[in-house]
Structure 1
Amino acid sequence: MAFSNPSREQIKQLLEDTATIAVVGLSDNRDRVSYMVSEAMKKKGYRIIPVNPNATEILDETCYASLSDIPFPIDLVNVFRRSEYTPEVAEEAVKIGAKALWLQLGVYSDEAASIAEEGGLTVVMDRCIKVEDSILLPQGKQA
């Protein structure tokens, strides 16, 4: 069966239920889309955890080399990596007990989606989390 993203209402609920987002491929370069999106999400109240083996700190948070190195629970894994790298990220997201896997705009992998869904994760692909959050939660998350 072909993959389809959750409904807008389901995505809204996912965002409302998310507090901590691990961002795989988060760059420390302020000009990169991953940085801009993550900075905007942090300003909206999400805790952003950078996953980048080549940096020590981004957005005032400690960087981790991999999802498995993060010593606390992660709600959602947001991926800024090329599609061919996402199946291994999906495997790691399942392993750490994340609730959702989000592949950014332009990133799509049926294999990663299958791995994550079989592991019980909600999957969103080829969508920008910042755009969805702005549309679905324009006033921010409800307390």
Structure 2
Amino acid sequence: DRGLVMLSFADDADDGRHQLSERFPACRLERIDDARIAGLFTASGNTPLHLIGTDFQRRVWRALLRVPAGTTSDYADIAARVGSQARAVGGALAANRIAVLVPCHRVVPRAGGAGAYHWGRERKQALLAAEGATP
């Protein structure tokens, strides 16, 4: 009722259920149609999000929502936006469980390259390429 709490990449249905049960042990799964899921990506930013994390994590995630598609930012820049350190921002990014819509894939190391990603470096590079961004 409050918004989307998790959007994840999974290798298969069992992996998806495992990820959900780890994050939300008391959750109850309901099947919804694929069109509703696809709508999450075509809603032009209108998908309600319920960010579950510490106050600091939510500040970092909100800063990510301001990084436009097709661009990247680095850890230090995000840290400056939220008044923190790059390493702490990295920890908040690692805790993000709303893939793509909270675009942690757009944060790259200042030294270059794509950097780490919870769902794998190849997937991060593919997301950046699909948006036309170059790390």
Higher relative contact order (CA 8 A, sep 6+): 2
- Answer yes or no: same fold by TM over 0.5: no
Q: TM-score, normalized by length of structure 1? A: 0.27
Q: TM-score, normalized by length of structure 2? A: 0.28
